[in-house]
Amino acid sequence: MLYAVLGTCVGVALYDRLARTGGIIHLLLPEPTGITPCGPPATYASLGLPFFIEALCREGAVMERLEAVVAGGALLGPVSQQDIDLDLGGRTTEIVFEVLGRYRIPIVKSETGGFTGATLELNTRSWEASLRPVFLAASRPATKITPPTSADIDAMVENVRPIPQIALKVIRLLREGDYTLKDLSTELMSDQVLSAKIIRFCNSVMMGAKKTIDSIDQAILLLGGGNLLEIVVSAAVETFFLQKEGGYSLMRGGLFQHAVGVANAARVISSFTGKGNGGTAYTAGLLHDIGKVVLDQYFMNSFSLFYQNPRGDQQDFVKLERAELKIDHLMVGRRLASRWQLPENLAEAIEFHHYPERAEIDRDLAHIVYLADLLTSWYLAGLERERINTESLKSRLQQINLTPEQIPAIVDLIPWQRIGAFN
């Protein structure tokens, strides 16, 4: 079984039943944003879909027998005029339809546009493709939500394990820049779990190491300071996020993978705009939803009631949290940040990433995390449930010297392939 969970991006299932050949391609953008593509050709509908069609034919499919099923290209969350004008998903869908028409491949089923994501599945035994709204993919009977008391929240915040001190020390060394290879190696080797995660990451396909990395010294040399900072922060935070499906997560580990997506997007936005520090932006993006760790248990068995009610399509989830629980993940995240004694700019980004104009200490950082969260919710819609209000998108972009027309170029630069690298 092949499947893709789609939001703003577009998925195309192509198959030849007789040749028993087929697959799914996941397209992020309509076409490259510059002269030279930033991402792999398969990222773009204009390049990736023709390449996919021709690759299937080389594997034995016959062009005249190919059938297509198309899904995605949605406008997610509370939709503003800005979303409608930008309409990246709609433009990607148009190119998909144009390419399929050019190759004379019939579309036997299609579910594109709209205001919710979709799951596209292709059964490689029966060669049947199916489509479902994304929020129904993990549906279960709902139970009534019991709002937590202030004492309940305080108790849960106290019980959340803080970031390991070893990780904080390594992060401090990397940021201050006053360290030796031996300093870093000594600190990292004192934490076996952290060391194992770093070495595992270095040996992942994505890193493409020419030889097996089997020591922290080798890992540090391979990664360099910037990448090491990101990996240490990510590995330290991973254990906070529940790895099960349900609540905020649409899939196992969804909260953590969403956090890694936001972190990578925030680093790219910081570099693109020249605002702030990439490492700080990455850390803020990774930590932005820590309040959900506490609230998740309240939605584990009741998300159908909470997220699939009619208001869920019209309001951002912060408003829904407040309506149902009298508190939201922003407030809880701020409590956790205070307990962990995080720097004030990070605490502020956690508290105001849905309303970045309220930030005072580092308004740019809060805006960077807001945009990173929004883009990740569009392009990785199958990880967690989120509705982010975009009514003030244009003014929020202006704060970090961006225009809506630059969003495709930023999306093009985000290394979406890094998501899930720790799993």
Write the CA distances from 226 to 38, 174, 268, 355, integer angstroms.
Answer: 20, 8, 13, 29
Higher pLDDT, 219 or 420: 219
Judge whether residue 305 has pLDDT over 50.
Answer: no
Share of the chain above pLDDT 70, in %: 78
Largest Cα–Cα distance of the chain, in whole Å? 66
220-234 residue pLDDT tens? 788 776 677 777 777
Share of the chain above pLDDT 90, in %: 30
Query: Nearest Cα to 137, choosing from 115, 108, 116?
Result: 116
Edge-to-edge, what's the strand order for the sheet holding 107-112?
21-27, 10-16, 67-72, 107-112
d(CA 330, CA 295): 10
Question: Pairing between strand 107-112 and 67-72?
Answer: parallel
Higher pLDDT, 56 or 73: 56
Judge whether residue 267 has pLDDT over 80.
Answer: yes
Write the CA distances from 9 to 67, 71, 82, 96, 418, integer angstroms.
Answer: 20, 9, 17, 11, 17
Judge whether residue 244 has pLDDT over 60.
Answer: no
Separation of CA 104 from chain center? 34
d(CA 28, CA 42): 9
d(CA 364, CA 401): 10
Higher pLDDT, 183 or 423: 183
List beta partners, residue 133: 118
Q: What is the pLDDT of residue 357?
A: 95
Judge whether residue 279 has pLDDT over 60.
Answer: yes
Query: Nearest Cα to 106, choosing from 21, 16, 43, 1?
Result: 16
Q: What is the mean pLDDT of the chain?
A: 80
Q: Tell whether the torsion through CA atoms of 293, 316, 339 and 227 is positive or negative.
A: positive
Higher pLDDT, 104 or 236: 104
CA distance from start to end of the chain: 20
Lowest mean pLDDT among 37-51, 238-252, 265-279, 350-364: 238-252
Judge whether residue 107 has pLDDT over 90.
Answer: yes
Question: Pairing between strand 21-27 and 10-16?
Answer: antiparallel
Helix (H, G, I), strand (E, B) or coil at 164: coil
Higher pLDDT, 265 or 222: 265
Domains of the chain, start order? 2-136 (3.30.1330.200), 150-160+240-418 (1.10.3210.10)
Counting DSSP H helices and E strands in the chain, the numbers are 18, 7
With tokens 């506490």, the residue in question is 294
